[in-house]
Amino acid sequence: MKYLNVVIVGLLCSALLVLPVGCSVSQAKINTVVTDISTWTPVIAADATALLTDIASFAPADAATIQNAVTVINSDSTALTALCKQYLAAPSPTLMTQIAALIGTLATTDRDAMLAVLQVKNPQSQATAKGILTTIATAVTILSGYLQSVNVQPSASTTAALEQLKLYVDRAPMERALAQLKAQHVAPQYVTLAQLGY
């Protein structure tokens, strides 16, 4: 699938969830995480834009079931990129809170879109939409993982949405990503996907 290219690199952050919680985190590390989020968020926007293009060819009723959610994902991912740039220019707890909230909104919106796409009648349209939304689900999971690596915990609603999105996250690219993280000495050698909940 043409949209899976984001998954391989993006899933690297899932392994960061095993870093000790409660340790103080340097501003440099937080900046690195925000930079990573800023780098990968446009991929969500690109996938949402691609899906909006595909939706144009769906039957009107099928398009209507997910049109609004995809539009929100597109808008929120663009806003998230802008927030990350603002944070890097002038770090503040308020901006970090806004970044976390937007990632939460993306998780919830993608979860809702994934549920809505089950109502799409045309099997080909349903498969197309589900494939792209799966990639977005994986990317959103990654962004949340980045935040958790610097002790920014998701809200209860975000956690619930991410838990439901786990059904759609692609395990094979995660395995490759985790192996790469271990090779880079970013993740401990003993970490497994099972420990990360996948």
pLDDT digits (tens, 9 = 90+) for 34-63: 988 898 898 899 999 999 999 999 999 999
Most confident of 25-39, 104-118, 132-146: 104-118
Read off the pTM.
Answer: 0.80
From residue 158, give the alpha-carbon distance in Å to each of 107, 119, 161, 170: 6, 23, 5, 19
From residue 18, give the alpha-carbon distance in Å to each of 24, 30, 114, 198: 15, 16, 28, 13
pLDDT digits (tens, 9 = 90+) for 87-124: 999 999 999 999 999 999 999 999 999 999 999 999 99
Cβ(149)–Cβ(17) under 8 Å? yes
Backbone angles phi, psi at 25, to 5 degrees: -115, 130
Distance CA 23, CA 1 (A): 39
**Average of per-residue pLDDT across 73-82:** 96
Give me the residue label for tokens 């994986």.
138
Give me the residue label for tokens 């080909």.
124
Distance CA 58, CA 161 (A): 26
